[in-house]
Amino acid sequence: MSNKWCMLIQFIAIVLLLSAVIYYRSASLQSSTSLQTVYRDYESQQTKWNVETKRLQSEIESLTTNQVSPQNGQSSSSSKSHNKDKDDWNDVDEQWIRDLQRNDRRFLQLQYGSGPLHILIETAMGEIELETAALRSMPHSIRYFVSLIESGFWNGCHFFRNADHVIQANCHQRNEDNAFAITQQDEQHHAERLKETGEIVFQEYDDTLPWLHQKYSIGIAGRPGGPDFYVNLVDNKRNHGPGGQGPKPDPCFAHIVRGQHVIDEIHRMEHDGSSMKVLKEW
């Protein structure tokens, strides 16, 4: 009897053990199937992410190619054609112009005081006294002009052109007292010295000046201007102001406060009848 019970107990234990083995094997198979499903989902998402990453990289490269240059505020294609002397000034132009004017104004204040400056021109016909604009108004043009005076550039020079609307001064000829005086054998050196005068960096302009391009006011000739200057004989805003002879107006930085009769006398002198109306004696 005891043997039968022992065999029965052993049989039941074997059945339970087999059942446990079958259950755990089934669970293991289900777990493996779940892992495979998760892995397939991961691969699918990874493929989608790769496609999206490539698309974003392509967009970034496109934006980089067409982006605005941080140095000039314009796209690379338009910046190559920008000309500050002809085109409208952009933000970068206006910023460096402000910086340049501030530097020139400080120099003039240190050298000559708060201004405006008075400049004496001595001619064979008498003295001409100029008064400049306020230093805050036309600092670059004023500094350029007085720097030429300080260098001795204008000593021994002349008014040479007597047109209907201006008389113009330059230094194409000089007398022997001039520091830049030359001989006929020194023409090449003369040409090189003239280059040293440079020119104004930009066409400075202040349309609030009360005598702007009026009779007896002083403008800088050329575009960009310098070193020649002229005296207006009439209201010259149409010729030398905005929209006149060039894309940018001529700097008008001073006016005559004494010696207007000297200008009138020069204007009465004969010219050669050419389009430039060069004085016969100069």
Tell how strand 126-132 and strand 158-162 pair up. unpaired
Q: Which residues have CB under 8 Å from 215's CB, separation 6+? A: 232, 233, 234, 235
The answer to whether residues 140 and 100 touch, using CB atoms and an 8 Å cutoff, is yes
What is the pLDDT at residue 85? 72
What is the pLDDT at residue 223? 81
Burial 47-76 (b: 16+ CB within 10 A, else e): eeeeeeeeeeeeeeeeeeeeeeeeebebee
Nearest to 249 by CA among 276, 278, 195, 209: 209
Q: What is the pLDDT along the chain (282 residues), one digit of tens a residue?
A: 556 666 666 667 666 666 655 555 555 555 555 556 655 665 666 666 566 656 656 665 665 555 444 444 444 444 467 777 777 888 888 899 999 999 999 999 999 999 899 999 999 999 999 999 999 999 999 999 999 999 888 888 899 999 999 999 988 776 655 555 555 455 555 556 655 667 899 999 999 999 999 999 999 998 888 999 999 999 999 989 887 777 789 999 999 999 999 999 999 999 999 999 999 886
What is the pLDDT at residue 68? 45
The answer to whether residues 279 and 239 touch, using CB atoms and an 8 Å cutoff, is no
Per DSSP, 279 falls in state B
Structure tokens at 71: 């140095």
Per DSSP, 278 falls in state B
The answer to whether residues 251 and 172 touch, using CB atoms and an 8 Å cutoff, is no
Count CB neighbours of 148 within 10 A.
18
Q: How far is CA 216 from the centre of its chain?
A: 32
3-state secondary structure of 117: coil
pTM (2 d.p.): 0.67
CA 242/CA 226 separation, integer angstroms: 18
